[in-house]
Amino acid sequence: MARVGKPGGCRCSAVDLLRAMLSVFAMLNAAGWAALALAWAFRPDWAERLPLQLGTHQRYLKAAPVWARLAAALTGFWTLAAMLYLTAGHNTAPLIVIALFTTAAAFLIIAIAAATAVFRALQPDPLPLAPESGQQAF
C-alpha cells in the first residue's frame, strides 16, 4: 500500500506560504491602522508628525475624531482579514469562515461610511454667492 500525503513529513505548499504572507501583511496593516486610530483619538496634536504632512492644516486637526473612526474600522477589517487568511482552507467549519467573512465585510462597509464622513469634514467651504448675479464669486 502506497503512502498518501506529503513525503518526508509536514511541508508547506506555495498556498500555505502565500496564506502566511497575506496574514503577516494583514496583521501589519491592522497594527498600523490601530496606531493611527489611537493617535487621532487621544493625541490629535501628533498628527503633525504623520507622513505626508497629514493633519498639519487646521481642517485636518478639527476632523481628528472622524479620522480615528476610519482608522478603527480599517483596523477591524484588517484584523478579520488576517484571521480569514489563517483559517480559510484548513479544516475550519464553514460557519466560522462565513461569520468571519461577513464581519469583515461589515467592517469594510463601516470604513466606507467613515471615509465618506472624512471627505465631508475636509471639504472646503463653498464660495460665497455674488448678491446681484446669483452666481458664485470668483
In a domain, 36, yes or no: no
- The rounded distance, in Å, linking the Cα atoms of 120 and 135 is 23
Q: Can you read off the three cell numbers belonging to residue 105?
A: 465585510
Q: Which domain holds residue 90?
A: 57-123
Give yes or no for residue 109 having a pLDDT over 90.
yes
- The answer to whether residues 75 and 41 touch, using CB atoms and an 8 Å cutoff, is no
Q: Give how many domains the chain has, as a whole number.
A: 1
Q: What are the beta bridge partners of residue 129? A: 136
In a domain, 117, yes or no: yes
- The answer to whether residues 107 and 77 touch, using CB atoms and an 8 Å cutoff, is yes
In a domain, 111, yes or no: yes
In a domain, 113, yes or no: yes
Nearest to 72 by CA among 105, 30, 43, 122: 30
In a domain, 74, yes or no: yes
Mean of the per-residue pLDDT values of the chain: 77
Give yes or no for residue 20 having a pLDDT over 90.
no
pLDDT tens-digit profile of 22-61? 889 989 988 888 887 887 778 767 766 666 555 556 666 6
In a domain, 116, yes or no: yes
Angle subtended at Cα 64 by Cα 63 and Cα 68, rounded to the nearest 5 degrees: 120
